[in-house]
Amino acid sequence: MSDAVPLFTLTPPSDAGWQRLVDRLRRSVGLILPATSGARVVARLTPRLRRLGLTGFDAYAALLDEGGAELAVALAMLTTPETDFFREPAQFELLESEFSRLRPARLRLWSAATACGEEAYGLAMLLSDLQSAGRIGADWAVLGTDVSEPRLRSAIEGVYAEPRLAPERLRHHALAGALSTGLVQMQPGLRERVRFARHDARQPLVADERFDAVLLRRLLLYFDAPTRRVVVAHALAKLQPGGLFLVGAAEQGLVEAAGLTRLGSGVFRRSVDRP
């Protein structure tokens, strides 16, 4: 007879508990949980409930009702970390052609909601190549921010599973030799150009500088309209007049803000005379 410990099963949310969870997350963090997302929510939050020693989802809804830091943890767990180094290549091409045309001596880019950092490193690879080609100056840097601390720790580490079809630019910037192990590691020269910090996009970013481009891709889709407006306003507050603002191509209809001209799918330019 096996003396294995029986599997510990969590009590699924009751109808009232589910509604409480949905209402709390919407009211407190602006997160929209569609009615069809129940199974996904249970799967995503189960490890967290186990870690907290909770036996069911109604108890977790009660914990969220207390407010505090757990709300940000839930927000991060219920938004996917899925990303890529050069997701939406047309947007990267547009950045490349804009920077090549303007030939700036100095560039500052912000990858907000960067997840595990691929997007921020992808931008750094682009800028590094533009610098090597003499199309931008040497004074450039990238900031990557996310609400999730575990994701930021991975970003700082800068080690990733090698994509099945690693683009040439990634191969060039990954540490030599690392590719054969199935992992890619960002080169030190790239890592020193990218800084990561925790930031909740619903709050203003505390930074002295303004950015030449702000990428806020695949975050708006999770939020209700009032929260989206706040998040976009905070992002634009840190964008230089004339700077570029990028959201996911599928999210461009969710951007409600004055003083933006659309340049491409999900890409806007902030007008120069906007206060």
Ligand X SMILES: C[S@@+](CC[C@H](N)C(=O)[O-])C[C@H]1O[C@@H](n2cnc3c(N)ncnc32)[C@H](O)[C@@H]1O
Among all chains, which residue has been given the structure tokens 């090549």?
100
For residues 25 and 58, which CB has a smaller minimum distance to ligand X in the complex? Answer: 25
275's tokens: 């206060």
Told to check if 219 binds ligand X by CB under 6 A, we report yes
Helices (H), the chain: 15-29, 38-52, 57-65, 70-77, 89-102, 118-132, 149-157, 168-173, 188-191, 225-237
Nearest-10 Cα torsion for 231, 253, 45, 148: -40
The answer to whether residue 247 forms part of the interface with ligand X (CB under 6 A) is no
Our finding on whether 87 is near ligand X (CB under 6 A) is yes
202 is a site residue for ligand X (CB under 6 A)? yes
Asked if 91 is part of the footprint of ligand X (rule: CB under 6 A), the reply reads no
Q: Which of 21, 75, 94, 143 binds ligand X (CB under 6 A)?
A: 75
- Which DSSP letter does residue 180 get? G
Binding residues for ligand X, how many (CB under 6 A)? Answer: 23
Residue 123 contacts ligand X per CB under 6 A: no
Scan for tokens 């960067």, then name that residue: 114
Q: Does 212 bind ligand X (CB under 6 A)?
A: no
Rounded to the nearest whole angstrom, what is the least distance from the CB of residue 16 to ligand X in the complex? 26
- Where does this chain touch ligand X (CB under 6 A) — which range of 5-13, 46-54, 189-197, 198-206? 198-206
Token pair belonging to 12: 């699924």
Residue 13 region, left (φ>0) first, then alpha (ψ -120 to 50), else beta?
beta
Q: Which is nearer to ligand X, 115 or 214 (CB)?
A: 115
Residues of this chain that interact with ligand X (CB under 6 A) are: 75-76, 79-83, 87, 113-115, 119, 146-148, 151, 200-202, 217-219, 248
